[in-house]
Each structure stands twice: as structure tokens, then as C-alpha cells.
Amino acid sequence: MANEFKHLVLVKFKEDVVVEDILKELEKLVQEMDIVKSFVWGKDVESHEMLRQGFTHAIIMTFNSKEDYQTFANHPNHVGFSATFATVIDKAVLLDFTAISGKAT
């Protein structure tokens, strides 16, 4: 079985952005696209400011393969969402990687 492919986004949103509205839009996008195997997001509640470097939210999407991720990334609905997303973020880090399991599930 091939390893899953992950799309990780760390985000610091701009001031006065209604983060929940943006994330609801993202949830809607993901629900419309069966190619996304799983989707989780959360807000940091534990890390010291020095360690999180201003980032407040993490988004993780899982795909069956790199090709599935590329299909998702190039889909017009995702492209449109990304254009909107870019206007509400102060900064972001994106990492796209093949998952290597260090512990059996």
C-alpha cells in the first residue's frame, strides 16, 4: 500500500478576519471533493508565543497519493478558494509530503 500524502498549512490570519467563516468555506470545499481522504484543523491553545512564531491555526488534509493532491490543488474550486484565502492571511507555511508512519495504527 502506498503512503498517504499530506498537505499541512500553518496560518496566521490578519486582524479582524472572521476565521470561523473562512474555515467553514474550506470545510464546504473539502466536503464537495471526494478526493480529499481526511481534513482536520485546529487553533493552537498550548504553545508559547516564541515557539509558534505568530501562527495560530493548523490545517491538515490527507490524500491517497501525491497525484490526488495535485488534482485537488489544480481544481477550479480550490484555485478560487486559495485566491480568497490569500487575502485574509498575514502569513502561512505550507508543507506537502508523503507520510512516513513511525507508529503502527
pLDDT tens-digit series, residues 61-81: 999 999 999 999 999 999 999
Domain-wise residue ranges, the chain: 32-47+55-93
pLDDT at 81: 94
pLDDT at 105: 63
| CATH class assigned to 32-47+55-93 | alpha beta
Residue 79 CA from chain centroid, whole number: 14
C-alpha cell at 48: 508559547
Continuous segment of H or E residues that includes residue 8: strand 5-13
For the chain, list residues with pLDDT below 50: none
- Grid look-up 497525484 returns 67
